[in-house]
Amino acid sequence: MIGRVNHIAIAVPDLENAARRYREMLGASVSGVQELPEHGVRVVFVETGNTKVELLAPLGEASPITAFLERNRDGGMHHICYEVTDIKAAVRRLTESGARVLGDGKPKIGAHGLPVVFLQPKDFDGTLIELEEVKPEFGPA
């Protein structure tokens, strides 16, 4: 059901400083800052060639990242995102298997403009998992 890792998300207390460190110290290509009010976050993406690293910081006090950073003042890994080709089928299969989808269970539009859902970390060994719907890739005929 899951495809490749789309990105690994790291919560950071200062998005601009974190982006600068990745750019200047690691020589990475870093996107501009994107605000996602529906998710309560500000993000940048670090390109690594085979996947991305998402650096995320709170957008307002009600952000879920605020609580994460209160427990992890220096930041840390927040979630891992896997690609799926049919998010509604994935949600149906997961819920039928007993997994819990966070929120209202309906996909929301994520940072890449594609539908996403988050899965209850307690159902996956303490790891917050994001699923992102992508179009299936077709190789050469």
Could you report the per-residue pLDDT of 28-40, keeping only the tens digit for each? 999 999 999 999 9
Q: Which residues pair with 30 in a beta bridge?
A: 46
Note whether residue 141 is domain-resident.
Answer: no
How would you class 112 by CB atoms within 10 Å of its CB: exposed for 0-12, middle for 13-18, buried for 19 or more? Answer: middle
Note whether residue 127 is domain-resident.
Answer: yes
CB 78 within 8 A of CB 56: yes
Q: Name the amino acid, one letter, at 12.
A: V
Note whether residue 140 is domain-resident.
Answer: no
**What pLDDT is stored for residue 117 in this prediction?**
98
CATH number of the domain within which 103 lies: 3.10.180.10
The predicted model scores a pTM of 0.91
**What pLDDT is stored for residue 141 in this prediction?**
47
Number of CB atoms found within 10 A of residue 4's CB:
11
24 annotated active-site: no
- The span from the CA of 77 to the CA of 12, in Å, is 9
Q: How many domains does the chain have?
A: 1
Residue 75 belongs to what domain range? 5-133
Positive or negative CA dihedral for 53, 108, 136, 3?
A: positive
Could you report the per-residue pLDDT of 49-101, keeping only the tens digit for each? 899 999 999 999 899 999 999 999 999 999 999 999 999 999 999 999 999 99
**Which position among 130, 132, 133, 137 bears the catalytic label?**
130
Tell me the pLDDT of the chain averaged across its residues: 94
